[in-house]
Amino acid sequence: MTSHAPVIDTAHIPAPLAPIIEALAAAAVELDAVIGRGPLGQSLGAQVGENTDGDTQKALDVQADEMFAARMRQTDVRWYASEEQDSAQEMTPQGAYAVAIDPLDGSSNIDVNVSIGTIFSILDARDDAEATFLRPASEQLAGGYVIYGPHCALVVTFGDGVLMFVLDREKGVFVLAETALRIPDEAREFAINASNRRHWKDPVRAYVDACLAGADGPRGCDFNMRWVGSLVAEAHRILSRGGVFLYPGDARQGYARGRLRMVYECAPIAFVAEQAGGLATDGQASLMAQQADGLHARSPLVFGSAEEVREVARLHAEIAAR
Ligand code: F6P
Ligand code: MN
Q: Whose CA is nearest to atom 8 of ligand 1?
A: 231
HSE, side-chain direction, 13 A CA sphere, residue 14:
12
Pocket of ligand 1, beta carbon within 6 A: 105-106, 193, 229-231, 259-260
Chain centroid to Cα 25, Å, comes to 16
Nearest CA to ligand 1 atom 11: 229
H helices present in the chain, as ranges: 18-37, 59-73, 129-133, 202-213, 231-241, 267-275, 306-320
Q: What CATH class is the domain 189-320? A: alpha beta
Q: Which residue's CA lies nearest to atom 14 of ligand 1? A: 229
pLDDT of residue 49: 82
Per-residue model confidence (pLDDT) at position 47: 80
User: What distance in angstroms lies between residue 307's CA and the mean position of ligand 2's atoms?
Assistant: 26
Question: What pLDDT shows up at residue 1?
Answer: 47
How far, in Å, CA of 129 to CA of 135, rounded? Answer: 11
Superfamily holding 15-178:
Fructose-1,6-Bisphosphatase, subunit A, domain 1 (3.30.540.10)
Give the pLDDT confidence score for residue 45 in this predicted structure: 75
Substitution site in 61, 109, 230, 299 for ligand 1 pocket (most atoms within 8 Å of beta carbon): 230
Going from the Cα of 231 to the center of ligand 1, the distance in angstroms, rounded, reads 6
Domain extent listing, the chain? 15-178, 189-320
Cα gap 207→181, rounded to integer Å: 27
Instruction: Give me the residues of the chain with pLDDT under 50, please.
Output: 1-2
Per-residue buried b or exposed e for 72-90, using 16+ beta carbons within 10 Å of the residue's own CB: beebbbbbbbbbbbeebee
Contact 100, 81 (CB under 8 A): yes
* One-letter amino acid for residue 26 of the chain: A
Amino acid 98: pLDDT: 99
| Burial (Cβ within 10 Å: 0-12, 13-18, ≥19) of residue 215 | exposed
Q: What ligand 1 atom has the least distance to the C-alpha of 107?
A: 4
Phi, psi for 36 (deg, rounded to 5) = -65, -25
Pocket test for ligand 1, best of 101, 105, 236, 255 (most atoms within 8 A of CB): 105
CA of 94 to the centre of ligand 2 (A): 29
Q: What is the pLDDT, as a whole number, of residue 11?
A: 95
- List CB contacts of 204: < 8 A, sequence separation 6 or more: 192, 246, 248, 250, 283, 312
CA of 222 to the centre of ligand 2 (A): 30
